[in-house]
């Protein structure tokens, strides 16, 4: 098959966007809405809530820490068979969970098996999308990731309806059937061969080069810091509002307001990321800084109007940073190394996501309120912004003469060896 010198920026790429939209919905929409099964599992197995909570936690951990496996397999075999296999595993895990007789069974079926399936789907799909787009990459990513928010609204009431009509075993069977659509999403991922691919080597060579790639390592640190504070409002905002004597229903509604703003922010930021000249890193730094400031201001707001305004601001800016965060990586490491780069990045940054909520809860226990929790969360994002400004070309007001993928193409055409440190190094 002929190799392209650069991404097509359209064509079949829009089908990849459609695949990524449904795939993100079927992975993270299910994960975000799985809490409706929580009460059913507690009652069915007569277990403590903390032990039941491990079902989703194991699934999330396996999905995040297994991302490099999905990336390595996609580098070797292409994303299509990997994502299709992941869809089968995700559906099989839910199917086996419907026959569960103990929590251990659910840990292994949903946590380990479905989690492994999710690990083989999300990262390869986003990496494949990044290879199809260059100028429109931020917009394409933003549109793809709106599937997470839309499915979060749809799946929670759907799962509740399934539980009321079919009980939890029947509901899990139907969620298994729903998850099987990931196979169709994988079938849409047509492989794209770029001129730079032979130069970057196999998964082992790519991993070794990324571990010595200064900008990539700094970017990984930045996103890990951002991830530590990013999810705090979704975990503790309702509890914070109840400390302010809000009723549970209005408090939950405020989280929905943030989620709606998140959707708008993803699309708007995707469009801006492609329209505004200069490195997209600057836009990511702007959204990260504004998200950190809005988080730190939450404890200062007491009036309902101020809290609604902050929820809108947080939702928009946190949603806006997501698509550009994925768009920065190909500029740093080149599209040839995007599979391994994205997998390694997601594995490391997940540490921040896993530690953020427990740290926030610990600060609440120590201080008696959520003031320190939100301030520290905002400080993590501001620290991440500080690391982002150290990336290459951040302070340049003219685009670099050669993009990373163009540097590889030039090396292949002229037989000039690539720089020893790798693409994008300082």
Confidence of residue 171 (pLDDT cuts 50, 70, 90): very high
Tokens of residue 411, six digits:
């090396």
In a domain, 164, yes or no: yes
Q: What is the pLDDT of residues 216-243, one digit of tens each?
A: 999 999 999 998 888 788 777 877 888 8
Q: What's the CATH number where 176 sits?
A: 1.20.1250.20
Q: What is the pTM of this model?
A: 0.76
**Separation of alpha carbons 291 and 310, rounded Å:** 10
The fraction of the chain above a pLDDT of 70, given in percent, is 89
Q: Are residues 77 and 184 in the same domain?
A: yes
In a domain, 158, yes or no: yes
Q: Are residues 90 and 131 in the same domain?
A: yes
Q: What is the pLDDT of residues 24-75, one digit of tens each?
A: 899 888 887 776 787 788 888 887 766 777 787 788 888 888 888 888 888 8
> How far does Cα 81 stand from its chain's mean position?
21
Q: Are residues 185 and 314 in the same domain?
A: no
Q: What is the pLDDT of residues 89-121, one digit of tens each?
A: 999 999 999 999 988 999 999 989 999 999 999
**Separation of alpha carbons 133 and 9, rounded Å:** 4
Which of 167, 193, 219 terminates a domain? The answer is 193
Q: Which residues contact 237 (CB under 8 A, 6 or more apart)?
A: 251, 254, 255, 258, 298, 311
Mean pLDDT of the residues in the chain: 83
**Separation of alpha carbons 230 and 207, rounded Å:** 27
> How far does Cα 56 stand from its chain's mean position?
16
Confidence of residue 297 (pLDDT cuts 50, 70, 90): very high
User: Domain residues for 228?
Assistant: 201-412
Q: Are residues 121 and 62 in the same domain?
A: yes
Domains of the chain: total? 2
In a domain, 417, yes or no: no
> DSSP of 167-202, one letter per residue?
HHHHHHHHHHHHHTHHHHHHHT-----BTTHHHH-S
Which of 161, 193, 225 terminates a domain? The answer is 193
Instruction: Specify the pLDDT at position 17.
Output: 93
Q: What are the angstrom distances between the C-alpha of 395 and each of 87, 328, 389, 399?
A: 43, 15, 8, 10
In a domain, 4, yes or no: no
């Amino acid at each position: 098959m002929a190799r392209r010198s650069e991404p097509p920026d359209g064509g079949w790429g829009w089908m990849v966007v459609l695949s990524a939209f449904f795939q993100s919905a079927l992975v993270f929409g299910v994960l975000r809405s799985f809490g409706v099964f929580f009460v059913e599992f507690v009652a069915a197995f007569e277990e403590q809530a903390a032990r039941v909570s491990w079902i989703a936690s194991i699934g999330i951990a396996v999905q995040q820490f297994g991302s490099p496996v999905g990336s390595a397999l996609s580098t070797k075999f292409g994303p299509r068979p990997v994502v299709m296999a992941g869809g089968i595993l995700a559906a099989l895990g839910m199917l086996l969970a419907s026959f569960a007789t103990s929590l251990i069974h659910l840990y292994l079926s949903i946590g380990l098996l479905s989690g492994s399936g999710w690990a083989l789907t999300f990262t390869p799909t986003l990496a494949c999308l990044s290879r199809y787009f260059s100028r429109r990459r931020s917009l394409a990513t933003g549109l793809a990731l709106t599937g997470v928010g839309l499915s979060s609204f749809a799946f929670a009431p759907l799962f509740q309806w399934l539980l009321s009509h079919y009980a939890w075993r029947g509901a899990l069977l139907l969620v298994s059937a729903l998850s099987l659509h990931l196979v169709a999403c994988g079938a849409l991922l047509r492989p794209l061969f770029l001129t730079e691919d032979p130069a970057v080597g196999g998964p082992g060579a790519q991993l070794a080069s990324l571990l010595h790639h200064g900008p990539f390592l700094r970017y990984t640190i930045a996103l890990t810091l951002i991830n530590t504070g990013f999810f705090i409002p979704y975990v503790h905002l309702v509890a914070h509002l109840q400390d302010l004597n809000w009723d549970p229903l209005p408090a939950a509604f405020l989280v929905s307001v943030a989620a709606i703003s998140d959707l708008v922010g993803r699309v708007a930021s995707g469009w801006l990321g492609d329209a505004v000249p200069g490195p997209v890193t600057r836009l990511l730094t702007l959204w990260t800084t504004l998200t950190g400031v809005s988080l730190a201001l939450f404890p200062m707001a007491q009036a309902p109007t101020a809290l609604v305004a902050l929820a809108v601001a947080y939702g928009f800016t946190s949603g806006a940073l997501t698509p550009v965060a994925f768009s920065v990586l190909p500029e740093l490491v080149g599209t040839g190394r995007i599979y391994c780069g994205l997998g390694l990045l997601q594995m490391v940054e997940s540490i921040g996501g896993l530690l953020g909520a427990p740290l926030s809860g610990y600060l609440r226990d120590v201080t008696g309120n959520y003031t320190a929790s939100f301030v520290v969360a905002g400080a993590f994002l501001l620290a991440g912004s500080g690391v982002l400004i150290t990336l290459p070309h951040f302070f340049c007001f003219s685009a670099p003469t050669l993009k990373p993928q163009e540097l590889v193409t030039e090396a292949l055409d002229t037989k000039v060896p690539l720089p020893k440190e790798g693409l994008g190094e300082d």
